[in-house]
Chain A
Amino acid sequence: MTALRIYMAQRISAMIMVPLVFMHLGMIIYAVQGGLSAEEILGRTRGSIFWACFYGLFVTAVSVHGAAGIRVIVTEMVSLRKGTADLLTYGIFLLLFVMGARAVVAVTMP
């Protein structure tokens, strides 16, 4: 991975996340203000292709963004070979993606 590709991946994932973060926060406020129970929330999200795509995209963008950011911080603090840094980046991406995907599946699968 080149520094420029990582830079672009981080910026593009950030651009994707901006509206998603606001929608996510808005939904939290709506759910809390409306006094929705966990069952009522899951009743709306389970089986919804929209929420599966919404949070699927969110988790993917977070995984890319987080992996790129941590790679930059680690390579600035510790001297790593490029191959090792690439492995670390893919590893962090996979970890974040799997954790996030599990949550998305739990909330949106019927």
Chain B
Amino acid sequence: MVGANNKPEETDQPEVMIEVSVWRGDAEAGGFRTYHVPSRQSQTVLDIVTYIQRNLDPELTYRFACRVGMCGSCGMTVNGKPRWTCRTHASQVISNGKLTIEPLRNMTKVKDLAVDMTPFFDKWVEAKGAFVPTKTRHDEIEAIKPDSKERRAADAAVECINCGVCYSACDVVAWKPDYLGPAAINRSWTLVNDPRDGAQAERLKVLASDAGCSNCHSHQSCATYCPNLLNPTRSIAGVKRRVMVAALKGEV
């Protein structure tokens, strides 16, 4: 039982401990270090990492911000699978009382559990993931019907929190580091479906490039691990269709 101050209440029961192996090191070298963390009710993986840093090893480096699944900062590899740690309950992932926590893959390690996400975000820019307006504030607001095919396609993909979990899960990114990846193409797909956007031709050219959508094998790891239950594979399939039509018309 846990008291109001998040400390175990006095009981005769021995405290249950979790054996946690945490990857420590940097881009050059590193390995696993084992810690023993007391089990708590409603404990998240991020709670465990925080416990280690505050009570056992203050040099442990990791990244988090909101703790409620909004900011996308706390992505880590937990028992071999990429996850958002703030909303992953330890009880769901602990296997035989053990937990392994590593940094996200496909990104350069900075230190311990923190990775360099710069290339991940650079690819969002490269994939023309920013809205390019075609109107000024003096123009009429363009009406977008909520039930239109384009709006529904954009809605299905728009709730991405940039956590990098799909990018880490993608085997094609591991094999081809230049590949834009599921998150960037998923973001572009929302804009491909935005009739107000003024960069459609340029965007399709990037999506049709050697780094673009044709690299995706539809393994669906991105859809499997996306914490927000998005389906980037479906977005990429939509991009492939648009790009194929554009290619047949000689536009890309």
Answer yes or no: B247 CB below 8 A from chain A CBs.
Answer: yes
User: Does any Cβ of B come within 8 Å of A54's Cβ?
Assistant: no
- In the assembled complex, B214 has its CB within 8 A of some CB on chain A: yes
CB distance from B217 to the nearest CB of A (A): 8
Compute how far the CA of A11 lies from the CA of B252 in the bound complex, rounded to whole angstroms: 18
With CB as the reference atom, state the residue of chain B lying closest to A76: B175
Bound Cα distance from A4 to B214, whole angstroms: 6
State whether the Cβ of A38 lies closer than 8 Å to any Cβ in chain B.
no
> When the two chains form their complex, are residues B214 and A3 in contact, meaning their CB atoms are under 8 A apart?
yes
Contact A4 B243 (CB under 8 A): yes
| B172, A4: Cβ atoms closer than 8 Å | no
Interface set, chain B 173-198, CB cutoff 8 A to A: 175-176
> What 0/1 pattern do residues 1 to 15 of A give for CB contact below 8 A with B?
011101110010000
Say yes or no for A32: interface residue by CB 8 A criterion. Answer: no
Contacts of A11 in B (CB 8 A): 244
Given contacts A4-B208, A7-B214, contact A77 B247 (CB under 8 A): no
A8, B175: Cβ atoms closer than 8 Å: no
Q: CA–CA, A96 to B39, complex, Å?
A: 60
Which residues B205-252 have CB closer than 8 A to chain A?
Answer: 208-210, 212, 214-215, 240, 243-244, 247, 252
- Chain A residues 36-90 with CB under 8 Å of chain B are 75-77
Taking a contact as CB atoms under 8 Å apart, the answer to whether B212 and A76 are in contact is no
Do A77 and B214 touch (CB < 8 A)?
Answer: no
The answer to whether A3 touches B210, judged by C-beta atoms less than 8 angstroms apart, is yes
Beta-carbon contact of A4 and B176 below 8 Å: no
B244 close to A76 (CB less than 8 A): no
Verify A76–B214 contact, CB threshold 8 A: no
**How extensive is the interface on chain B, given as a class?**
10 to 19
Which residues of the partner chain B approach A4 to less than 8 Å between Cβ atoms?
A: 208-210, 212, 214, 243, 247, 252
Q: With the chains together, A8 CA to B245 CA distance in Å?
A: 11
Q: Which residues of B contact A77 (CB under 8 A)?
A: 175
When chains A and B are docked, how far (Å) is the Cα of A78 from the Cα of B211?
Answer: 17
Q: Do A8 and B244 have beta carbons less than 8 Å apart?
A: yes
As a 0/1 sequence over residues 155 to 187 of chain B, the CB contacts with chain A under 8 angstroms (1 = contact) are 000000000000000001001100000000000
Closest to B246 in A: A4
- Flag if A3 contacts B209 (CB, 8 Å): yes
Instruction: From known contacts A8-B244, A8-B247, infer whether A3 and B212 are also in contact, taking CB-CB under 8 Å.
Output: yes
Min CB gap A17→B, angstroms: 18
Q: How far is the CA of A2 from the CA of B206 in the complex (A)?
A: 12
Residues of chain B from 29 to 87 with CB closer than 8 A to chain A in the complex: none
Contacts A3-B210, A4-B209, A4-B210 given; 17 further ones with Cβ under 8 A?
A: A2-B208, A2-B209, A3-B209, A3-B214, A4-B208, A4-B214, A4-B243, A4-B247, A4-B252, A6-B214, A7-B214, A8-B214, A8-B244, A8-B247, A11-B244, A75-B176, A76-B172
- Residues of chain A at the chain B interface (Cβ within 8 Å): 2-4, 6-8, 11, 75-77
Partner-A contacts on B (CB < 8 A)? 172, 175-176, 208-210, 212, 214-215, 240, 243-244, 247, 252
Listed by A's residue number, 15 A-B pairs whose Cβ atoms lie within 8 Å are: A2-B209, A2-B210, A3-B210, A3-B215, A4-B212, A4-B214, A4-B243, A7-B240, A8-B214, A8-B244, A8-B247, A11-B244, A76-B172, A76-B175, A77-B175
